[in-house]
Amino acid sequence: MSSELSRSLLINTLWSFVGRFGYFAVALITNVILVRLLSPKEFGQVGIMMFFIMIASVLVESGLSGALVRKQNATEVDYSTIFIFNLIVSLMLMTLLMASSGFIADFYKDSELQSVLIASSFILLINALRITQAARLIKNLQFKKKAVYEFLAVLMASIIAIVLAFNGAGVWALVALQLSTAVILAVLLWIFVGPLNSYKFSPRSFKEFYKFGVNTTLASLLNTTFDNVYQLILGKYFSISQTGYFYQAKKLQEIPSSIFVTINSGVIFSTLSKLQNSPKEFNEIYQNVVRVFSVIVALISIIIFYYSEVIILILYGERWMDSAYYMQLLVIGSFFYVQEMFNRNIFKIFDQTEKILQLEVFKKAVQSCTIVYGLWTMSIENLLFGFILTNVISFIVNYYIARKVQSYFKWHDLFVLIKIIIIAVATTLVCYLFAQSYNLKGFYTLLLLPLLLFIYFLFLYLFKISNVYHDLKSLKASNKRRKKND
């Protein structure tokens, strides 16, 4: 890879990470405040509402913004075509959600859900107005600007939601949070990125993007539906309060994974797309990226798993402790989900998005069986263990087929990931043994954090996966050479 492209990948990855970290930091602080002001039932209502909003949002976007990013010479007609399509679909889905809101409220025997769904449906229209502007920023690798706009949007929306919650708005504070975030971000993008130069719909342009978009959309639709269906199941067959506990656990464990998925679908995808005609460079940078990110994701997963009860106690308080067990199981599944997202880059970059859909159908067939078993046994644990099993199987199948598409397979790369998983498990077990030996419980387990970090990085060194000292030294030397060349 050229030095310029390497620098671009590093800088934009850092900005994307900083941006998402800042976004989620504000969102987390806001959520902590709202959790202490609102009840599990109100968060359960929002969890059910967000299922429908997320499904509809996938259909509105339809995978076409990714096609815009991938196309190396996208025209203004391409942008306007996608914009008009997104706008029309959002209006249709908004109307459909409003019309079905009464039925959904009756299904859950919660009359307040109807008005919540009607108000929240406007998010679809608002988001449709800014999809192409966001795609333009990603395509032009302007991740610093994107990070700033998203941070400002969530910060201002959070202030609005907290004020409403303090004044007894209840679930409407959460609805206002979602709506105001969408509105503020759309306004910022229209002001600073600007409107489109023309508003023309080209059937030819749409047809060009259709193959890419339809496969990724159907795959995303399946993925979003099944990943969020547990909220609906808990709300219907157990209680809306259990949905609230699950929703909060899911939101917390999704913070790190969402950051990496965003970086993957933004910076990494955009950068690797430029190397689609250089197999050797592509393979080299791809394997390095996967190795580094796997090490980081595994470490974060260990910390969340081991300190789940402490995290919930610090952030939400004792009445939310039911969320800790959910979070432990969800974080295991999310590790394999992040790995799966890395593999999807290969299918998108080499224009074989039909394989994403095929693999997603296979994954959901497996997941459907686990859901049926969980409902048959009426066990929340069986539902979530099935979720983990599904993600493990899906990762293995995705890994194998992605390497066939890439025409590059080395057992060494797979063994590296397996060793990272073994190290993560071993590190967690050692910490549990130390805690048990010295009778450390609750907040006292935080004393083991330095030990956890030491053991983890020691194992990485012994297994020859990563030498932190060497990596930092190489990065420092590379930075000195860059400054000298500049």
Q: Does residue 170 sit in helix, strand or coil?
A: coil
Q: Find all residues with CB under 8 Å of 209, minimum gap 6, and list them.
A: 64, 67, 68, 71, 78, 81, 82
Report percent pLDDT > 70 for the chain: 83
pLDDT at 241 over 90: no
Using 50, 70 and 90 to split pLDDT, how confident is the model at 409?
Answer: low
Q: What tokens were used for 41?
A: 């039932």
Q: How far apart are CA 179 and CA 202, in angstroms?
A: 31
Query: Residue 375: its pLDDT value, please?
Result: 86
Average pLDDT, integer, range 228-234: 78
- The whole-number pLDDT of residue 96 equals 94
pTM for this predicted structure: 0.67
Cα separation of 127 and 467, whole Å? Answer: 43
pLDDT, tens digit, 9 for 90 and up, residues 249-276: 887 877 777 766 666 665 666 666 666 6
User: pLDDT grade, residue 137 (50/70/90)?
Assistant: confident
* pLDDT at res. 150: 87
Query: Would you say 424 and 298 are in contact if contact means Cβ atoms under 8 Å apart?
Result: yes
Phi-psi region of 188 (alpha: psi -120 to 50; beta: other; left: phi over 0): alpha
Average of pLDDT values for 145-157? Answer: 88
**For 459-467, what is the mean pLDDT?**
78
Q: How far apart are CA 342 and CA 260, in angstroms?
A: 10
Q: How confident is the model at residue 466 (pLDDT cuts 50, 70, 90)?
A: low
pLDDT at 469 over 70: no
Q: What mean pLDDT is reported for the chain? A: 81
Using CA atoms, how far residue 374 sits from 164, 199, 316, 370, in Å, is 38, 49, 28, 6
DSSP code for 238: T
pLDDT tens digit sequence for 347-397: 777 777 778 778 888 888 998 999 899 889 888 888 889 989 998 998 888
The 10s digit of each residue's pLDDT in 43-98 is 888 888 888 998 888 887 766 677 777 676 777 888 888 888 889 989 999 999 99
Q: CB neighbours of 228 closer than 8 A, spacing ≥ 6?
A: 50, 51, 54, 55
Model pLDDT for residues 6-45, shown as the tens digit of each residue: 555 556 666 666 666 777 788 888 988 998 888 888 888 8
